[in-house]
Amino acid sequence: MTVTTAEPRERWLRPLREHDVPRLRLVCFPHAGGAAGFFRTWAARLPHGIELYGVQYPGRQDRIGDGHATTMDDLAGPVAAALEPLAGVPVALFGHSMGAAVAHETARRLESRLGRPLAGLVVSGRPAPDRVRRSDVHLGGEQALLDDLRRLGGTSDEVLDDPALRAIVVPTLEADYRLIETYRPAATAPIRTSVCACVSDADPEVEPGEAAAWKHHTTGSFELRVFAGDHFYLVPQEAELVAQVLRSCDLPAPWPSTP
């Protein structure tokens, strides 16, 4: 069977902003329960020439008919394969929470495929691989999931209190929690891509010291940036975070043409 390069791209990547002659492709990985469209508002904050893609994990929204991923390999392997044909233009990755782990694993695989480092990796709201905390929320059933979502914020009470909406989102949350809570990072060699770790000062999931340990997972440059806020600081701090991502890719911020 012949498989075209367009198939994995269309399956895994949602273009949120495209250009005829891009100078950088920024690919964003959402948190557990999240979807590609979470990053749609970033498009208006990017300078001319920057393409924006959101990664669409299976089992949600337009991929509701696809079975949920059960291992990190199920996510990072296909996404790296989907990105390889796009890497004629520099590619940078951003991931938040579970998405940070998926972005890191994707960067490792994509570096190997390309034989060179990427334009940058920004990991947000997650400890370094050697500092990951053990948790087992996925074993506690629906109520444990809902309690954890309320603890972290970022999910509206409208969704959490509505039985019909919960019936839609809970299976995806259960699958994502199970994947990330059973994921055990391998003690692999550091990547060559430069890493920026972003964390907030009141995140119950990660402390700045745990985020700073990402510096041991790259032979490139490293930067730690601490924002004010909780686990979902990236919503109220969106403008400053996007500016930080651009600086991490050696793009000036603010860009002259940025709205």
Using the structure block, give the residue that is written with the tokens 């600081």. 233
Distance CA 206, CA 97 (A): 9
CA distance 193 to 236: 28
Positions annotated as catalytic residues are 97, 231
The neighbouring-strand residues paired with 17 are 52
Q: How far is CA 114 from the centre of its chain?
A: 20
C-alpha to C-alpha distance for 176 and 69, rounded to whole angstroms: 8
What's the CA gap between 255 and 184, in Å, rounded?
A: 39
Alpha helices in the chain (DSSP H): 6-12, 72-83, 98-114, 141-152, 157-161, 163-182, 208-212, 238-248
d(CA 92, CA 103): 10
Give CA angle at 38 (153, 136), nearest 5°: 45
Copy the structure tokens of residue 131. 């500092």
The Cα–Cα gap between 44 and 259 comes to 7
* DSSP H or E stretch at residue 84: none
Listed in sequence order, the DSSP H helices in 115-213 are 141-152, 157-161, 163-182, 208-212
